[in-house]
Amino acid sequence: MLLVLSIPAYGVTFDEYYTDDEKPNKPLYIRQGTFIRVVNLREINTFIADVGDECEFVNKYDMFIDEYLALPRNSKVYGVVEDIKEPVQGKNASIKIKVNKIITPYGDKILYPNAHIYAQNDNYIGGEKTNLAYYKKSPHYIEGWGGGVLQLTPLNIYEQGKHAQIKPGAELIVVFHKDLKIN
């Protein structure tokens, strides 16, 4: 169950940014599909991580909606490991991280923003196909040619997958899945 809280105690209040005359006179929304760039602050590894472990990121740039600063840079973005797929033969491990909280440098909180760390594979980071492990060697002799040709034919046996790792300092993207009211 997802819940978006937008009451002043849990939303961005704009008190730290603007005077009363400058505050937005309409609600501001971070729209569905919006991306923000974040930097990973701690190593995340599928070998060590468990579902429910907290992850911490920091956003790199100020985000403006109209002329208003909606999300200042250096806001902390927190997430939890939502799912881990272990490595298997033919496929590397993958991890899915759900964003559950954003805290601005001024202490304002945005809870349950309905966002994930973005990856092309349904937001699973990792999960790449591994290399072929074995090939069958088939010699081919061509008439009138002095030698033969050795053809390597893949046998559909792949290497064992490896664990996924996100290093500290890695740049990632957060994508919002639903509109989020922030004031």
Tens digit of pLDDT at every position of the chain (183 positions): 333 433 333 345 545 555 555 666 778 888 999 999 999 999 999 999 999 999 999 999 999 988 888 899 999 999 999 999 999 999 999 999 999 999 999 888 888 899 999 999 899 999 999 999 888 888 888 787 777 888 888 888 999 999 999 999 999 999 999 998 887
Residue 46 tokens, joined:
């599928």
User: Degrees (nearest 5) of the Cα angle 76, 32, 49?
Assistant: 45
Buried (b) or exposed (e) across 123-142, using 16+ Cβ within 10 A? bbbbbeebeeeeeeeeeeee
pLDDT at 19: 52
Task: Please give the model's pTM, rounded to 2 decimal places.
Answer: 0.79
Q: Which long-range contacts (CB under 8 A, 24 or more apart) does 33-37 make?
A: 33/175, 33/176, 34/175, 34/176, 35/118, 35/173, 35/174, 35/175, 35/176, 36/61, 36/63, 36/71, 36/77, 36/173, 36/174, 37/61, 37/171, 37/172, 37/173, 37/174
- In CATH, the number for domain 29-131+162-181 is 2.40.128.260
pLDDT number for residue 103: 94
The residue extents of the domains of the chain are: 29-131+162-181
Give the integer Cα–Cα distance in Å for 175 and 16.
26
Residues 6+ apart with CB under 8 A from 147: none
pLDDT attached to residue 7? 34
